[in-house]
Amino acid sequence: MTTTDIHTGNPTTADAAGTWRLGDRTINRLGFGAMRLTGMPWDEKPRDRDDAVAVLRRAVELGVNHIDTAAFYFTATRSANELISTALQPYSDDLVLTTKVGPARTRDGEFEFARPEQLRSQVEENIRQLGRDHLDVVNLRWGAGLDKSPGPVADHFGVLAELRDAGLVRHLGVSNVTAEQLREAMSIAPVVCVQNRYGLTDRADDDLVELCGEHGIAFVPFFAVAGAAPGEVEQQGQAELAAVAQAHGASPAQVRLAWSLHRGRHVLAIPGTGDPAHLEQNVAAAALRLTADELALLDGLGRAS
């Protein structure tokens, strides 16, 4: 599909997907994920710093006002938080920065999980790197990818609730959790978002998406288009996906993003990239409207997986 509005000739902007109230902040449902800004660990060389800064500034120009980041998004020479701070300060009043705590990375790049008493220092690290006096939204990142269980969600989420009460954090969310863990967190403090791996052909959390909708909680899928590793894109249903994309003059990636946004008004999107052209394609997906028949076809692909 074209990346410009057919009526005005201007670039499609993120507000084309509508808005969501994240706590007391209104954001466009099409946002931006900062993980790929620094380049990925397997890249032969770091992503160009000027390109990363340009992508962030262009994202905001295109109406993106929700950026997802974390202090552990870094390579040997790049930090996502530092790039955001450099590119976007002074921050606009409507920009919402969401970050994650829980995991930390050693100098060797290995992940370790914070004890509850270490979470304050992680929150303060994000505040310092981003140049803020508080954080808009902090997600407690949980679950898979860790060598051992961090313990009960309540022990960690309770600390974040205390930091929220102290004014360091405005709103709280959880990431990579089960429905039971979400309910555990909700019993301690309000949860404004859940960030889990989810996509067209990665549908283990269908019930959790519905649960979030019932409680007015934003569901924010990561890896909705592709996985973390090179070439990690589900091959199932590629012919059907390609047919829907062709009907709209769109790419399969844009259809995947549009499908995610069609899952409910509470579902957000945070596709990430370090390429300006790819950014505009992602934002253009905000305007892609799938028909009932197309949605039924695509839904069938996921349920068959």
- Could you say which of 20, 32, 72, 73 is catalytic? 73
Amino acid identity of residue 90, one-letter, is: P
Of 178, 181, 198, 195, which Cα lies nearest the Cα of 137? Answer: 195
Structure tokens at 281: 């394609």
CA angle 51, 62, 276 (to 5 degrees): 25
Number of H helices, E strands in the chain: 10, 11
Using CA of residue 159, residue 162, residue 168, residue 173, what is the dihedral sign?
positive
**Which secondary-structure segment (H or E) carries 141?**
strand 135-141
Respond yes or no: is residue 73 known to be catalytic: yes
Q: Give the bridge partners for 205, in sequence order.
A: none
Cα–Cα dist 278/53, whole Å: 15
Catalytic (active-site) positions: 73
